[in-house]
Amino acid sequence: MSRIASVSRKTSESSIELSIDLDGTGRSQIETTVPFFDHLLTAFAKHALVDLKVSASGDTHIDVHHTVEDTAIVLGQAIKQALGDKSGIGRYGDATVPLDDALVRAVVDVSGRPYLVHSGEPAGFEFHLIGGHFTGSMVRHVFEAIAFNAGLTMHITVLDGRDPHHIAETEFKAFARAFRKAVEPDPRVLGIPSTKGAL
């Protein structure tokens, strides 16, 4: 069964075209006009083993917020669409990932119930401009948008870290690795992996 989705979103603030293949090999073509966000999405695709194509533009002359948030919304919508009824997946995934000084743990449940627990970023991280344009506060905001639009329960905990670039990148890599495990087909799972019969 093909687990591919394409979603677009156009508002007065941004224009997004996105496609995803959950059974890909980590290939990506990312152009959001926000360079550090391109870097984070490229890392997500590579470590989640999804093929991801994103073309986004928006009012970045005001702030990167709208373009980044709307891209995350569309990514969440595409994930939900590609997952279908979630039959045969493992459902749960976790990963602990280091990057030099940074260490992050991520846990994902493809629950159908949107929830984000996000903690551990050092004081002041949310105000730091990474690459001179991407505010640290946007990392949590991206995860919120993905969780609520994909229907995922996500726990992301920064266990250690000093460099804001490393912390943000490790958060995305840890999420990617946990997501990969959660959405992978499990040959032993028959139907929906829930006692409720639905996710």
Is the pLDDT assigned to residue 12 strictly greater than 90? yes
pLDDT for the residue 132 = 86
Q: Domains along the chain?
A: 4-183 (3.30.230.40)
Is the pLDDT assigned to residue 121 strictly greater than 70? yes
pLDDT for the residue 66 = 96
Cβ within 8 Å of residue 143, ≥6 positions away: 72, 116, 118, 154, 156, 171, 175
pLDDT for the residue 197 = 87
Could you give the CA distance from residue 53 to residue 114 in angstroms, rounded to a whole number? Answer: 24
| Among 36-45, 149-158, 186-195, the least confident range | 186-195
pLDDT for the residue 1 = 67
pLDDT for the residue 69 = 97
For range 37-57, the mean pLDDT: 98
CB 48 within 8 A of CB 152: no
Is the pLDDT assigned to residue 151 strictly greater than 90? yes
pLDDT for the residue 110 = 98
For range 82-88, the mean pLDDT: 96
